[in-house]
Amino acid sequence: MPGDLISRPLIEIAADLREKRVAARELAEAAIGRHERFGERLHAYSFWAPEQARLIAQAADAAFAAGVSVGPLQGLPVSIKDLFAASGYPCFAGSSRRLPADAWERDGPLVATLRRQLGVIMGKTHMVEFAFGGTGHNSHWGAPHNPWDASAHRAPGGSSSGAGVSLLEGSALLAFGSDTAGSVRIPASMTGTVGLKVTLGRWSTEGVVPLSPTFDTPGLLARSVADVAYGFAALDTAGIEPVGFVAREGTRDISGVRIGVGDPFLWRDCDAGITETVQEAVDALVQAGAIAREFTLPEAEAVYAVFLEGGLSAGELRSFLDQELPGWLGQLDPVIAPAVRNAETLSATDYLARIARLRALARTAAPRFDAVDVIASPTLCLTPPLMSEVADADSHLRVNRRIVRNTVAVNYLGLCAITMPVGRDRAGMPVGLQLTAPAGAEERLLAIGLAVERVLGTAAERLGTPPLLAS
């Protein structure tokens, strides 16, 4: 719906709210209307909260009327993944049972920041149970529908499976997700949205149900790099002013940016149309003045081998369940249950050895970024699979291993990354370009991402309207 309240850039909507050209309640009603139109079809939310949203929007309007601005997110509709603890909202973390309210229905730091700014929480989005998987499969709740395929139920990505879908639905302008091996970037890539994975420790994970505390990071999804940059600046504790940051960095061009390309591991064995689409995007950036440099990151394949051995997530999730949620193991989604149960066979010696290997690889990878500003690669090497293809544990494991191939290294090597849509593959599904940067380089990464978006165009300009939303 080009031209409506929801479809415009976030920075414009925020300015209109402050200038009282638009009311927060009006914006909330527009978001609610989009959910009423598409929600049953898309299944993005595990807990939809229109009445709470209306109350927050009213409070935001009252503050605006009094001349009070409490933060950049004031009055803006936001969805949160169902592993963020939030007062007044049940937390299931994709499980069949509600988690204990005393621990998981109290605002954590990131949600508290959103609340202080009177961001309008629209509801909690579906996820893979305990964030353990990248397809979006959930036997308890069902998976959201990827709106880029109107004829078949394709994976929306996971584990933040409802996040990208909520953005396309128009019921949210920002979406909170989490990323342990790609759980923000995977759904962003599969749904044609933008996803930011921040450096480990940049944002607190307090109040976020853990999968693997060694690698868990909160993250953001939005409809454009500019929207993600605005949301990042609004939430970050570094005190970045969002409007100034987006306006300043959004005017810089791509000239002179050194882009590392060609790593054989990250670019090989992609489904039809993926490599070609990402390469065309890189070529366009070079034509606009970027510098492409042949680049290899051998540590990416090395850490993926650790993931294939079992990584750390299953063992750390098993520890959390045993200590905090006894009795939960027997009711886990059958697709993820075998891996979590088998984690008890991992010895402490092997667990510590894996951590030591990953830390050593992270140390050797870090200086490679002296030669480039970012690494470019396909975000995913595969077309979003049909949900029927990941319905059992064996097929889910096989596909999930392919899904995280290009994303897990960012987590395991302690880096930050962004994915943005650059076209469609041969199946007509979105293709993501992943830009990876050193630890702590989010501002520089976002500045480059904004320059890339200026050259290539936004998701809406590059992809058009998802077929499931066209009718």
Which residues are part of the catalytic machinery? 81, 159, 183
Strand order in the sheet with 194-197: 45-48, 120-125, 77-81, 174-179, 217-222, 194-197, 416-424, 430-437, 374-378, 258-261, 291-294
b/e per residue 185-195 (b: at least 16 CB within 10 A): bbbbbbbbbbb
DSSP letter, residue 343: G
Beta strands in 6-84, from DSSP E residues, in sequence order? 45-48, 77-81
Taking alpha carbons only, the member of 347, 217, 373 closest to residue 293 is: 373
Structure tokens at 258: 């050194």
What is the SS3 assignment for 122-168?
EEEECCCHHHCCCCCCCCCCCCCCCCCCCCCCECCCCCCCCHHHHHH
CA distance linking residue 131 with residue 94, whole number of Å: 8
CA distance linking residue 433 with residue 412, whole number of Å: 19
CA distance linking residue 135 with residue 175, whole number of Å: 18
Question: Up-side HSE of residue 299: CA atoms within 13 Å toward CB?
Answer: 21
CA distance linking residue 118 with residue 59, whole number of Å: 7
Provide φ and ψ at 319, rounded to 5°: -65, -45
Beta strands in 371-440, from DSSP E residues, in sequence order? 374-378, 416-424, 430-437
Between strands 416-424 and 430-437, the pairing is antiparallel
Tokens 């810089």 appear where? 252
Beta bridge partners of 430: 424
Give the 3-state secondary structure percentages of the chain, helix then strand then coil, rounded to 5: 45, 15, 40
Beta bridge partners of 174: 78
State how far the alpha carbon of 384 is from the alpha carbons of 57, 219, 248, 451, in Å.
36, 21, 35, 27
Provide φ and ψ at 204, rounded to 5°: -65, 140
Helix (H, G, I), strand (E, B) or coil at 184: coil
Structure tokens at 383: 């077309």
